[in-house]
Amino acid sequence: MKISARIPVAAALLLVLAGTMGCRKLKERDQLVKGINAFKAGKYEVAINFFQNAVAIDPDDSMARLYLAAAYSNQVEEGTAPENLKVAQKALDQFDAVLKANPNDVDALRQEASIRMKIRDYETAKAMDLKVIAAAPNDADAYYTIGNIDWTLSYKNSMTILGAAGLTDDGEGNVKMSKDVCAKMVTANTTLVADAIKYLQKAIDVSPTYSNAIEMLNLAYRRKADLECGNDAARKADLAKADALVQQAIGARKQNEADKEKKLGGGISMQ
């Protein structure tokens, strides 16, 4: 019996496609490697070009999009200048593409939240970090960022209200405020301050030596002191808590340095 050596047409097509896909994947990986090397060398525009090439070769590769988004993100600065917002949007477009395919991609959620924070899109940043927390409940940075945003908004409210009354913040509960001014402060900041304290405390619960969170919690309690409105005992209790947190932050920083030294074995880190 003669056995045909010919490959069926469908199988042949599959082999051709596999070879094409393999070649395309190799080209994409080559562009990614070149982009990563350029990024490490600080050549961000060059890196962006390579990552764009990788995305063009395989638009469905979330890793390529994340690299491209990270390269754009590195150029985003604090503030809302038009050019800065354009760069930020380029990064956000890539993160959104990744999240469209995988809504629970924690890396994309984290990085998008960070960009939103930089460009002062605070409410969206909070929403993204809440998604991070839903996917990764022990992400201390996400709790910290939400608490930071709430404190920032409460601080802005406080400065606006005090300024309109001809006052400057004394950092001690602003006892010179009139009842009307304090009532405005309560209306504007009660929820923000409570949420700031809640989320910053959660960040510390997850990471007890998180010094930035401890320092920010100190500031949140100082904002809480503004809300006591004539209750001097409560105001002093808030300030005492704030002062204790200052010392706690100092201890946390010392502990972090000690842990770093221990990890390095007392030697010098060669970066």
- 76 has a pLDDT exceeding 50: yes
The string of pLDDT tens digits covering residues 195-210 is 999 999 999 999 999 9
Phi, psi values for residue 96, rounded to 5°? -65, -35
DSSP conformation class of 228: G
Reading the block at residue 28, the tokens are 């994409």
- pLDDT at position 268, please? 43
Q: Give Cβ neighbours of residue 84 (< 8 Å, ≥ 6 apart).
A: 76, 77, 119
Helices (H), the chain: 9-40, 44-57, 62-73, 82-101, 106-118, 122-135, 140-164, 179-206, 211-225, 232-264
- Residue pair 156/169 in contact by the 8 Å Cβ criterion: no
Q: Max Cα separation, the chain? A: 106
- 271 has a pLDDT exceeding 70: no
Confidence of residue 2 (pLDDT cuts 50, 70, 90): very low
Q: Give Cβ neighbours of residue 53 (< 8 Å, ≥ 6 apart).
A: 31
- pLDDT at position 17, please? 39
- pLDDT at position 30, please? 87
The string of pLDDT tens digits covering residues 5-51 is 333 444 444 344 344 456 877 888 888 888 889 888 888 889 899 88
- pLDDT at position 22, please? 67
The string of pLDDT tens digits covering residues 143-193 is 999 999 999 999 999 999 999 999 999 999 999 999 999 999 999 999 999
- pLDDT at position 85, please? 96
- Residue pair 92/112 in contact by the 8 Å Cβ criterion: yes
C-alpha distances in angstroms, 261 versus 208, 254, 265?
A: 18, 11, 6
Q: Exposed, middle or buried by CB within 10 Å (0-12, 13-18, 19+), for 64?
A: buried
Helix (H) or strand (E) holding 138: none
Three-state secondary structure readout of 146-159: HHHHHHHHHHHHHH
- pLDDT at position 43, please? 87
- Residue pair 76/112 in contact by the 8 Å Cβ criterion: no
Reading the block at residue 212, the tokens are 């930035």
Reading the block at residue 117, the tokens are 């924070």
**d(C-alpha 212, C-alpha 167), whole Å:** 28
